[in-house]
Structure 1
Amino acid sequence: MQLFRRFFLFVLLLGSCCVSNAQTDTTAVENPKDSITISEESNLANIVADSLQPKGPKMKRPRDAALRSAILPGWGQVYNKKIWKVPIVYGALGGTGGYFLYNRKWYREYRDAVRIITELTSPNGSKDSTAYLSMNENIRKWYERNQAGGLETLRFYRDDTRKKLDYSFLYFLLAWALNVVDATVDAHLQQFDISPDITFRVQPGYSEMARTSGISLVLHFK
């Protein structure tokens, strides 16, 4: 009987401790100093969302900037008031475009030379020398000095130039795409509010959440 009473008292004591701890935790959560209210969270979300919206007629729309740059390179940069970027855009496009045209020219020269020489050296091919004389002069003279393995070497040059032609076209497309990306990102960055109404500073203070003192990074919206 005495053992039962001791066990009963122990259960009551343990239950009272659990209830006390639960009430303490509930009070701590409901304390406005230790938690962020729903209204504060809503206000903060509205501030962040509002900061991402275009402010005034000077702000640029990323979609419009991207569309302009896709249609005409440099147009999006002009739209963003970054005219100094236009020479860079056309420098990149001009370099890659010039490399593409150079490779296309020499690919056609090697292709025609291989076709003409193959026909001349083939038993059933055409023996007309007019086409041979119309070949690129440098290629013709080189072939006359290296007739032994000249045809196979010309085929190698043709295939290698074809690879360079494909890569140069990809470089040109990449330069065009970077022009669109630059205009889009630049328009996005103009939407961020960097006016004096937003301040960022380091200051000492007391943290209600951590219940300690220290240095805080403060972002203040006015």
Structure 2
Amino acid sequence: MRDSAGRRIEVGTTPDQKIDSVLNTHSPRKAAIRSAIIPGWGQAYNKKYWKIPIVYAALGTSAYVFYYNLTWYKRCRYAYTVAVTDDVAHYDDVYIKLQPFVKNPNGEGTLKIYRNDYRRYIDYSVVAFVLLWGLNVVDATVDAHLKSFDVSPDLSFQIKPGYSELGNTHGISLVLAFK
């Protein structure tokens, strides 16, 4: 197809569409979705491979803390149950570090406090895991948005005195020039 001047026109694309397709080759939405599905996938999509071990270290640490607290919660819960019910037959099944509390008549209160503390720590570790996963998604999204950001050293900064004839005032202008 040709226009009135005889120039050839490609049907179906406009210059604006071509510019948009070039600018949108790196999608922040894709980075966010990928990081939400698998942690670190958004960082890999952004080619920031050095961040992936940090993501997995943070998530792995919070997962380990969850496992540790869950293990101790179960131990304390079982020891508390044995202490409250005076179940002597299952005394040997109690974790060895908690056995003195089971024998002690005042140990029930201590075991209850331990059990409740570890339950609270479990909740905190779940919240930390979710927040770190969310931070992973936010990092991938922001990094994708800044992918085309120019950080070249061709930036200049000038401060000049200025005078406004319209308002008959003096001032200072700040000029930030991109070369």
Asked if TM exceeds 0.5, the reply is yes
Contact 1:54 1:60 (8 Å CA) reproduced: no
Give the direction of change, closer, same or farther, for the CA distance of 1:119–1:159 in structure 2 (3 Å limit): same
Q: Which runs of 4+ in 1 moved over 2 A?
A: 53-57, 141-144, 191-196, 198-201, 203-222
Task: Tell me what 1:108 maps to.
Answer: 74
Note the residue ranges of structure 1 that are not aligned, 5 or more in a row. 1-52, 121-126
**What amino acid maps onto 1:156 in structure 2?**
I
**2:27 aligned with 1:61, yes or no?**
yes
TM-score normalised by length of structure 2 = 0.74
Task: Tell me what 1:138 maps to.
Answer: 97
Contact 1:204 1:213 (8 Å CA) reproduced: no
Aligned residues: 159
Contact 2:155 2:178 (8 Å CA) reproduced: yes
**What amino acid maps onto 1:159 in structure 2?**
N
**Structure-to-structure mapping, 1:59-208, within 5 angstroms:** 60-120=26-86, 127=87, 129=89, 131-144=90-103, 147-194=104-151, 200-202=156-158, 204=160
| CA distance in structure 2 between the partners assigned to 1:204 and 1:90 by the alignment | 50
CA deviations on 1:120-164 (whole Å, 9 max, x unpaired) are 2xxxxxx560x22212122124433xx120111101110111111
What secondary structure, in the 3-state scheme, does the structure 1 residue paired with 2:122 have? helix
Contact 1:65 1:76 (8 Å CA) reproduced: yes
**What amino acid maps onto 2:65 in structure 1?**
Y
Overall identity of the aligned pairs, in %:
45
Give the direction of change, closer, same or farther, for the CA distance of 1:92–1:210 in structure 2 (3 Å limit): farther
Give the direction of change, closer, same or farther, for the CA distance of 1:167–1:203 in structure 2 (3 Å limit): closer
Note the residue ranges of structure 2 that are not aligned, 5 or more in a row. 1-19
What secondary structure, in the 3-state scheme, does the structure 2 residue paired with 1:202 have? strand
Q: Offset of 1:215 from its aligned partner?
A: 5.7
Say which one has the larger Rg.
1
**What amino acid maps onto 1:65 in structure 2?**
A
| CA distance in structure 2 between the partners assigned to 1:54 and 1:101 by the alignment | 46
Give the direction of change, closer, same or farther, for the CA distance of 1:207–1:161 in structure 2 (3 Å limit): same
CA deviations on 1:179-202 (whole Å, 9 max, x unpaired) are 111001111111334568x85442
| CA distance in structure 2 between the partners assigned to 1:117 and 1:69 by the alignment | 46
Contact 2:159 2:173 (8 Å CA) reproduced: yes
| CA distance in structure 2 between the partners assigned to 1:106 and 1:80 by the alignment | 40
What secondary structure, in the 3-state scheme, does the structure 2 residue paired with 1:163 have? helix
Normalized per residue, which structure has more helix?
A: 1
What secondary structure, in the 3-state scheme, does the structure 2 residue paired with 1:191 have? coil
Contact 1:200 1:217 (8 Å CA) reproduced: no
Contact 2:82 2:91 (8 Å CA) reproduced: yes
How big is the alpha-carbon RMSD for the aligned residues of Structure 1 and Structure 2? 2.9
Q: Offset of 1:173 from its aligned partner?
A: 0.8
Q: Offset of 1:71 from its aligned partner?
A: 0.6
| CA distance in structure 2 between the partners assigned to 1:211 and 1:79 by the alignment | 55
TM-score normalised by length of structure 1 = 0.61
**What amino acid maps onto 1:202 in structure 2?**
Q
CA deviations on 1:23-58 (whole Å, 9 max, x unpaired) are xxxxxxxxxxxxxxxxxxxxxxxxxxxxxx67557x
